[in-house]
Amino acid sequence: MKLKICGMKYQDNITQVANLQPDYLGFIFYKQSKRYFDGNIPELPKAIKKVGVFVDAEIDYILSKVKTHKLNAIQLHGNESSDFCNEIKYQFERSREPNDNPIEIIKVFSIKDEFNFDVLKPYEAVCNYFLFDTKGQLPGGNGYTFNWEVLSNYPSQKPYFLSGGIGLNETEDIKSFLRSPKSKYCYALDVNSKFEIEAGLKNLEELATFKTDLSF
C-alpha cells in the first residue's frame, strides 16, 4: 500500500513531511484552493513522486507546471474528459526531453452514497490510476469520507487511490477496509485536510503515527 500526502504548501513543512518518506506528495495548482501552491518545490528524495493537482486547467498550463517542477504525476480533479487525458499524454510525449520524468495520469471521481462505474470506461486506456474522493462543495479537501461499500461494485482492474476525509480516527476503518475484497485494487491512500494544523500545513506527529499504525 502506498501513501500520498496532498495539499503541500510551505517549504519547511514540505521538507519535514518528505522525511517521513511518503510515496507521493501532492501540490495543488488551482488558484481557488486554500492550499494553492505558488513557489518552488524543495529538493526531494527521488523515491517520492511529485503530483500536480489541477482542476479543469488548460493543457499548456498543466504542461508548464510539469516542466517547471519536474512532476511525476498529474492529478485531474475536475470535469476533464478522456479525450483531454489522452491529449495531455500526447502533448507531453511530444515535448518530452530525454531527461524528463515519465508522467502518470490520475483521474479523480467523486462519490457520496452511490456511483455509476460506467463513467470509468472511457478513461481505462488513458489513465494510470483512478482516485475516488468524497463529493463535496470543493474539489477535494472537504474532510469527509464517502461510503466505501460502493467500491464493492468496482468493475475494473485499474489500481486506484482512496481519498476523502482519511485521518487518525479512520485508522481502524481503513484496516478493516484493506482486509476486505473491495480493497483488491486499492493502490494508495491519499490524505490531506485531516492531518492539518491549518490549510496546507501538515501535522508531522499525526502523520508519523498514521504511517506507523498502517505499516506504510
- Cα 201 to Cα 6, 23, 51, 91: the distances in Å are 10, 18, 17, 33
Question: For the structural domain made of 2-213, what CATH number should be given?
Answer: 3.20.20.70
- Cα 64 to Cα 6, 29, 37, 167: the distances in Å are 20, 11, 14, 33
Q: What integer is the mean pLDDT of 147-151?
A: 94
Average pLDDT, the chain: 94
pLDDT at res. 148: 94
Name the DSSP class of 52. E
List pLDDT tens digits, range 67-103: 999 999 999 999 999 999 999 999 999 988 888 888 9
Q: Could you give the CA distance from residue 216 to residue 210 in angstroms, rounded to a whole number?
A: 9
Which residue did the predictor score with more confidence, 203 or 216? 203
pLDDT at res. 18: 98
Enclosing H/E stretch for 28: strand 24-28
Give the pLDDT band (50/70/90) at residue 113: confident
Position 141 pLDDT exceeds 70: no
pLDDT at res. 144: 77
**pTM of the model as a whole:** 0.95
Give the pLDDT band (50/70/90) at residue 143: low
pLDDT at res. 100: 84
